[in-house]
Structure 1
Amino acid sequence: MKEKPYHKQQNNNNVSIQTGQQFPLTIKRLGINGEGVGYFKRKVVFVKGALPGEEVVAEVTKAGERFSEAIVRKIRKESPDRVKAPCPIYEQCGGCQLQHMNYDASLVGKQDIVAQAFSRYTKIPDQHLPIQKTIGMDNPWYYRNKSQLQTRKINKQVIAGLYKEGTHELIDLSACLVQHQQLNHVTQIVKSILADLNIPIYNERKHDGEVRTIVTRIGFETKQVQLVLITNTAELSNKELFIKEVRQKLPEVTSLMQNINDSKTSLIFGEQTYHLDGEETINERLGEFSFDLSARAFFQLNPKQTVHLYDEAKKAARLSGKEKIVDAYCGVGTIGQWLANGASEIRGMDTTREAIEDARANADAQQINTTYEVGTAQKWLPTWLKQGFKPDVVVVDPPRSGCDPQLLKSIVQAKPNRVVYVSCNPSTLAKDVQQLMDKGYKVVNIQPVDMFPWTAQVESVTELVLKK
Structure 2
Amino acid sequence: MKMKPPVQKNEYYNVTFEDLTHEGAGVAKIEGFPVFVPNALPDEQGKIKVTRVKKGFAFGRLMELTKESQHRQDAPCPIYKQCGGCQIQHMSYEGQLLFKQKQVKDVLERIGKLDMSRVKVHPVLGMEDPWNYRNKAQVPVGEREGGLVAGFYQQRTHEIIDMEKCLIQQSENDEVVQAVKDICNAFGIKAYNEERHKGWLRHVMVRYGIATGEMMVVFVTRTADFPQKQQVIEQIIARLPHVRSIVQNVNSKKINVIFGDETTVLWGEEYIYDMIGDIKFAISARSFYQVNPTQTKVLYD
Deviations 1:413-441 (A, max 9, x none): xxxxxxxxxxxxxxxxxxxxxxxxxxxxx
The answer to whether structure 1 residue 99 and structure 2 residue 89 are counterparts is yes
The answer on 1:30 being equivalent to 2:56 is: no
The reply on whether 1:189 has 2:179 as its aligned counterpart is: yes
Q: Give the Å deviation of 1:154.
A: 2.0
The residue that corresponds to 2:42 in the other structure is 52
Contact preservation (8 Å) 2:139, 2:150: yes
Q: Indicate whether 1:116 and 2:106 are aligned.
A: yes
Using the alignment, how far apart are the partners of 1:51 and 1:363 within structure 2?
Answer: 46
Percent identity (aligned): 35
1:232 maps to 2:222:
yes
**More strand per residue: 1 or 2?**
2
1:303-322 correspondence runs (5 A): none
Q: Which amino acid aligns with 2:191?
A: I
In 2, Cα distance between the equivalents of 1:155 and 1:40? 45
Q: Which has the larger radius of gyration?
A: 1
- Matched residues in 1 for 2:55 and 2:285: separation? 44
Q: Following TM superposition, by how much is the alpha carbon of 1:135 offset from its aligned partner in structure 2, in angstroms?
A: 1.3
Residue of structure 2 equivalent to 1:363: 292
Uncovered stretches (5+) of structure 1, i.e. residues with no partner? 1-12, 298-331, 333-357, 374-396, 399-468
Partner of 1:143: 133
Contact 2:6 2:33 in 1 (8 A): no
Instruction: Note closer, same or farther for the CA distance 1:366–1:14 as it changes in structure 2 (3 Å cut).
Output: same
Look up the equivalent residue of 1:108 and give its one-letter code.
Answer: L
- 1:20 partnered with 2:10: yes
2:71 is the alignment partner of 1:81: yes
More helix, by proportion = 1
Residue 222 (structure 1) aligned to one of 184, 189, 212:
212
Give TM-score, length-normalised by structure 1. Answer: 0.61
Q: How far apart in 2 are the matches of 1:31 and 1:149?
A: 26
1:126 and 2:55 are equivalent in the alignment: no
How far is 1:283 from its partner? 0.5
Q: Does the CA contact (< 8 Å) of 2:6 and 2:30 recur in 1?
A: no
Q: Would you say 1:280 and 2:255 are equivalent positions?
A: no
Q: Hey, what does 1:420 align to over in structure 2?
A: none
Which residue identity does 2:164 align to in structure 1?
S
TM-superposed CA distance for 1:23, in Å, is 1.1
Distance 2:274 2:259 in 1: 21
Q: Shift in Å at residue 118 of structure 1?
A: 2.1
Q: Alignment RMSD, CA only?
A: 1.8
**Relative to structure 1, is the Cα distance of residues 118 and 67 closer, same or farther in structure 2, using a 3 angstrom cutoff?**
farther
CA-to-partner distance for each residue in 1:46-83, whole Å, 9 max, x for gaps?
A: 12111111111121122122211112111111111110
* TM-superposed deviation, 1:239: 0.5
Q: Distance between the aligned counterparts of 1:114 and 1:59, measured in 2?
A: 30
* TM-fit CA distance, 1:366: 6.1
In structure 2, distance between residues paired with 1:172 and 1:44: 34
Structure 2 vs 1, CA of residues 20 and 128 (structure 1 numbering), >3 Å: closer, same or farther?
farther
SS in 1 for 2:95: helix
1:261 alignment partner, one of 251, 257, 274: 251
| Alignment gaps of 5+ in structure 2 | none
Match of 2:58 in 1: 68
SS at match of 1:104: helix
Q: CA deviation at 1:15?
A: 4.6
| Aligned-residue offset at 1:14 | 5.0
> What are the superposed Cα offsets for residues 145-179 of structure 1, whole Å, 9 maximum, x if unpaired?
01111111223321111111111111112111111
Output the amino acid matched with 1:49: N
Given that 1:56 and 1:76 are in contact with CA atoms closer than 8 Å, whether structure 2 keeps it comes out as yes
Matching residue of 1:408 = none
> Is contact 1:24–1:55 with CA below 8 Å preserved after alignment?
yes
Q: Tell me how far apart the structure 1 counterparts of residues 234 and 5 of structure 2 sit (CA, whole Å).
A: 65
One-letter code aligned to 1:257: V
Deviation, 1:140, is 0.6
Equivalent residue in structure 1 for 2:144, among 138, 154, 159: 154
Distance in structure 1 (CA, Å) of the matches to 2:62 and 2:294: 54
SS in 1 for 2:74: coil
Give, as a single letter, the amino acid of the residue that structure 2 aligns with 1:363: N
Is the 1:218–1:225 contact (alpha carbons within 8 Å) kept by the matching residues of 2? yes
Higher relative contact order by CA 8 Å / sep ≥ 6: 1 or 2? 1
Instruction: Read off the aligned partner of 1:258 and give its amino acid letter.
Output: Q
C-alpha separation in 2, matches of 1:186 and 1:61: 39
For 1:50, give the aligned amino acid: A
Deviations 1:207-236 (A, max 9, x none): 122111100010111111100000101000
Greater shift after overlay, 66-75 or 255-264? 66-75
- Give the 3-state SS of the residue equivalent to 2:175 in structure 1: helix
1:58 maps to amino acid: I
> Separation in 2 of the partners of 1:177 and 1:200?
27
Contact 2:148 2:190 (C-alpha < 8 Å) held by counterparts: no
Cα deviations across residues 178-209 of structure 1 (Å, max 9, x unaligned)?
A: 11001111111101110111123212222122
Cα deviation 1:269-320 (Å, max 9, x = unaligned): 11111111111111010011110000011xxxxxxxxxxxxxxxxxxxxxxx
